Structure 1
């Protein structure tokens, strides 16, 4: 297999960065309104899990210890 030159690798890296930058700048307008609400709702769900787990453990203990 032939080795790539440093210029070829650099060219591929720059092309990938340009494509990513282009995709981020053009999708930000559509997703900007919902990204923070999505992050907040996800955080809310994660932060509620310990309370739900404790409630399930307590109901399990009450059911099987009686």
Structure 2
């Protein structure tokens, strides 16, 4: 199964992100994968996480 092309993904920013142009990440969710990229450099590299890895990361981040 091929993954969607990056430009076809529905990217979104966190509701905690402001509109002041600060540093921000964007995420896109596909079946079984969460992709993350830098909002200031959307054409550059992306990170892709499986659902269980993303869940573990979010749990870790929330406890910090």
Structure 2 length normalisation: TM-score? 0.25
Structure with the bigger RCO (C-alpha within 8 Å, sep 6+) is: 2
Structure 1 length normalisation: TM-score? 0.25
Higher strand share: 2
